Amino acid sequence: MQYTANSLENHWMPFTGNRDFKADPRMMVKGEGVYYWDQKGGKILDGSSGMFCTAAGHCRPEIAEAVYKQLQENDFAPPFQNGHPGAFELAQKVCRLTPDGMDHVFFTNSGSEAVDTALKIAMAYHRTRGEGQRTRFVSRERAYHGVNIGGTSLGGMVKNRETFSGVMPGVVHMRHTWLEENRFTQGQPETGAYLADDLQRIAETYGGTTIAACFVEPIAGSTGCLVPPKGYLERLREICDAHGILLVFDEVICGFGRTGKAFAAQSFDVSPDIITMAKALTNGAVPMAAVAVQDKIYETIVNAAPENAIELFHGYTYSGHPTACAAGLAALEIYEKENLFERAAELSPYFLDRVFSLQDMDAITDIRGYGMIAGIDLAPGDKPGQRGTQLQKDLFWNGLHVKFTADTGIIAPSFVAEKEHIDQMVEILRKIIGGK
Ligand SMILES: Cc1ncc(COP(=O)(O)O)c(C=O)c1O
């Protein structure tokens, strides 16, 4: 092995320009509340809750203590044919937050695994009901459903797909919901519900009885916060019901308060059959994700198997890991004690007004937002993504962390942020974008 002291070479960084980063590293060496600190001691306001994870702010002692205690008590329990109390307790707590009738939770370690798990649950459900011909899946352009093979296949962001052309077959994409006429709309756009009829057209083209499930992010997050037009999700629900298609909400970003309620399903008052969740489940402290399913799905699959048999041949060594469960329980307790979902709902109008105050800037071509998430599109530079990449670095060295996807910045502060933190974020954005 080649070894050079202090070399950054060995770590192959994910979704990162490795050469560019290693030439000018931006390390986050400490986190507390709504701040990070860089390797030079600079204080950085966290404008994106890391990557939409730290709803309650960084380094909460309650979570650190719960994790430490768990590691001393029981560091690992095999999750197949054995259990540990934390997983059952956390599942119960998650089910207190999910929509009615959605009382079963399967744990995974990442949003990507949650999505692939949801795909397999949908397949198993239909097969158990004698509808194994439902092998097709529908998703959407500009969607992000993680990076495993299933999620890559469902995804609709070209850079994430084009290298991996041999992904899972049988996925059909609806159009995305970005419309020119809805630029600079705060909240749900008035127009665009008709785009849900793409699902109806797909059902008519391929046969509704061949489709297992339709996957959507209620708010498409990673592509830059595309808020669903009014009536859009409702229409998807109707079409799914008409054809026996399962509706899956991928709430990896939306879940746990980002939209002002526990789940976007509740904010938009549309009940999916399956919800995938991750990110804020443990406040980002320990990797963990989950898939919640309607009772009919769990009961169908479980009751169909012989008494002492495994019902679903699926699971991960680290499904419901004790440390992750301890972190999840502590995080949910903080959310409840501090009414953080309500706080997110209260803070949202201020947050959105302040972010939308940037719309007079020439460099900004669109702003969208809902709850505690907003997307800002910049006019691209010479090549797509170039401007966003540079801006992310400039913001960092000027004290603000924002997650960028190409030329779109996604602002999503933690719910413990104060109004003055939001003011500071917007001031830094104005100054640095204005300087470009
Ligand atoms: C909607 C959605 N699904 C899935 C994922 C993948 O999650 P992970 O990166 O934890 O695998 C993400 C990540 O941002 C996401 O936003």
For every residue of 43-65, which 3-state class applies, written as one string? EEEECCHHHHCCCCCECCHHHHH
Task: Give the phi and the psi of residue 281 in degrees, each rounded to 5.
Answer: -55, -40
Dist. CA 300–CA 135, nearest whole Å: 18
Q: Which of 112, 153, 410 to mutate to test the pocket of ligand 1 (most atoms within 8 A of CB)?
A: 112
Residue 153 confidence (pLDDT) above 60: yes
Q: Which of 252, 282, 283 to mutate to test the pocket of ligand 1 (most atoms within 8 A of CB)?
A: 252
Task: Say yes or no: 194 and 210 in one domain.
Answer: yes
- CA gyration radius, the chain: 21
Atom 13 (ligand 1) nearest CA: 146
Task: Say yes or no: 231 and 100 in one domain.
Answer: yes
Which pLDDT belongs to residue 2? 57
How far CA 342 is from CA of 52, 261, 279, 409, in Å, comes to 17, 7, 19, 25
Sign, CA dihedral 148-150-153-157, equals negative
End residue of a domain, out of 288, 314, 337 = 337
- Angle at alpha carbon of residue 344, lines to 275 and 94, rounded to 5°: 35
**Pocket lining for ligand 1, CB < 6 angstroms:** 110-112, 115, 144-146, 217, 221-222, 250, 252-253, 278
Task: Say yes or no: 172 and 160 in one domain.
Answer: yes
Residue 4 confidence (pLDDT) above 80: no
Other Cβ atoms less than 10 A from the Cβ of 79: the count is: 18
Other Cβ atoms less than 10 A from the Cβ of 235: the count is: 19
End residue of a domain, out of 294, 316, 337 = 337
Is there a contact between 44 and 400 (Cβ–Cβ < 8 Å)?
yes
- Is residue 69 in some structural domain? yes
What pLDDT, in 10s, does the model give residues 279-311?
A: 999 999 999 999 999 999 999 999 999 999 999
Dist. CA 145–CA 111, nearest whole Å: 8
What pLDDT, in 10s, does the model give residues 97-112?
A: 999 999 999 999 999 9
**Which residue segment(s) compose the domain that 370 sits in?**
18-56+339-434
Residue 59, phi-psi category: left (phi > 0), alpha (psi -120 to 50), beta (remainder)? left
End residue of a domain, out of 304, 337, 370 = 337
Instruction: Compute the distance from residue 297 Cα to the ligand 1 centre, in Å.
Output: 23
What pLDDT, in 10s, does the model give residues 186-206?
A: 999 999 999 999 999 999 999
What is the distance in angstroms between the CA of the first residue and the CA of the last residue of the chain? 43
Number of domains, the chain: 2
Edge-to-edge order in the sheet of strand 408-411: 364-370, 373-378, 408-411, 403-405
Task: Say yes or no: 174 and 140 in one domain.
Answer: yes
